Chain A
Amino acid sequence: MARFAAEDRVRIATGYPLGHCRTPWYARGQTGVIERHCGDFPNPEELAYGRDGLPAVPLYRVRLGIDAIWPDRSDADRPDADRPGADTLEVEIFEHWLTAAEEF
């Protein structure tokens, strides 16, 4: 049963576990919004060691703000960071890396 649904705000964990994982470093610690639940897939952190990765883990697409990840970046003609329509990055994250983000 998937914990999250589209539009939920989530925080990506900041762990640095040993072994293979599919959570890019730029995404760790970021807060974003669920774009969709993609389905449930075998855990790649287990598959990497020849195990079957089951039970399958819910996989989500999470929308992040590029300016939130890299506040000092300079990119030609980009919209202002705090404007709707600022540049975004959508990345696939497994459920065990996600917690519900508090609304401030």
Chain B
Amino acid sequence: MHDHHHPHPDQPDEEDGPLNEYRLMEIALRELLIEKNVISQTELNQLYLKMDERGPQAGAAMIAKAWCDPHYRGLMRRDATQAAREIGLDPTWLNLIAVENTPALHNVVVCTLCSCYPWPLLGLPPDWYKSRSYRANVVRTPRDVLREFGTVLPDAVEVRVHDSSADMRYLVMPMRPDNTDGWDEAALAKLITRDSMIGVTQALAP
């Protein structure tokens, strides 16, 4: 046996931090609702699972369909909310605008005021999308932010930032990657990542 003379790092567990007012409020409200049989813990667990399961599948399906079907692509450009309904979504509050990347234009989406996000199409937003760092910097130095995601754009390409400051929500249509001729929609959808539909990256190469 030997003695340790070096300090061990102390990483506190989550429970070791202070309980702030909002966490306390949530716990109190949840426990009251369960106690009064308004909702059960089982129902809550099922809700948590449902929310976690949601991902970018619907958004990727729309983009893949637009890549393959010129009529649907036209619909995405004219009325993206209707395009969402045509693949079976029915979010009554969603006002969707699809913004299309081209060789001359790259789009990226943010909500500077809060964290508005087309979650029926993409699932829950990543923590970085909600961060003050992203929201403050992408409107002012979008290319520097894109570089942090590995996306480098030449100055011949215009970068356009979309701030979903009110009722609209946005989906970026990334460009279809090269060497995907003849691919079906399901295969194409696998190349279309959440980050490419927010606009911080391109779609994956095959």
- The residues of A that contact B186 with a CB separation of less than 8 Å are none
Query: Please, what's the 1-or-0 string for A59-78, where 1 marks a CB less than 8 Å from any CB in chain B?
Result: 10100001001100111111
Residue of B nearest to A24 (CB): B112
Query: Please, what's the 1-or-0 string for B162-202, where 1 marks a CB less than 8 Å from any CB in chain A?
Result: 11111110000000000000000000000000000000000
- The residues of B that contact A38 with a CB separation of less than 8 Å are 95, 166-168
Interface size of B as a range = 20 to 34
Q: Is A6 an interface residue, CB under 8 A from the partner?
A: no
- The residues of A that contact B95 with a CB separation of less than 8 Å are 38-39
Are B163's CB and A87's CB within 8 A? no
Interface centre among B95, B147, B155 (most CB of A within 10 A): B155
Are A22's CB and B113's CB within 8 A? yes
Total chain A interface residues with beta-carbon distance under 8 A: 31
Are B166's CB and A41's CB within 8 A? yes
A93 to B199, CA, bound (A): 22
B positions within 8 Å CB-CB of A: 95, 97, 104, 112-113, 139-144, 147, 152-156, 158-168
